[in-house]
Amino acid sequence: MHPILPSTTQHDSLPEYTKAQLALRNGQDRDEIWVCYEGLIYDVGRSRLWTRGNHYGHWAGQDLTDELHRDAPHTAHVFDKFQVIGRLKMPPNLVTANQTGR
């Protein structure tokens, strides 16, 4: 399943981070605790629910889109309270496929 890309007009100016850069922000390797959902990267480090980079079996530092679509008891609006700090950099083949609708 390909990630669902959000409307980019309001997020175009945000920095892009690779999966490797995101992985370092897992609450273990660095103090930063970031998660990705639907192409956007959120800073969840101030939430007591993400202490040490884990929230009910979901680990920070990764794209949680598929996991949360599958088994989260809440809606995506849970991310509204967190700061969007960047976008997940998509590999060129996924960017092309998403732009052409394939």
Domain boundaries defined on the chain: 16-100
Contact (Cβ atoms closer than 8 angstroms) between residue 63 and residue 55: no
pLDDT, tens only, 23-72: 999 998 788 999 999 999 999 999 999 988 988 888 999 999 998 888 76
Beta-strand pair 83-88/16-17: parallel
Contact (Cβ atoms closer than 8 angstroms) between residue 23 and residue 61: yes
d(CA 25, CA 68): 19
Q: Is 101 helix (H, G, I), strand (E, B) or coil?
A: coil
What fold, for 16-100? Flavocytochrome B2; Chain A, domain 1 (3.10.120)
Q: Output the pTM of the full model.
A: 0.77
Place 2 in a pLDDT band, splitting at 50, 70 and 90: very low
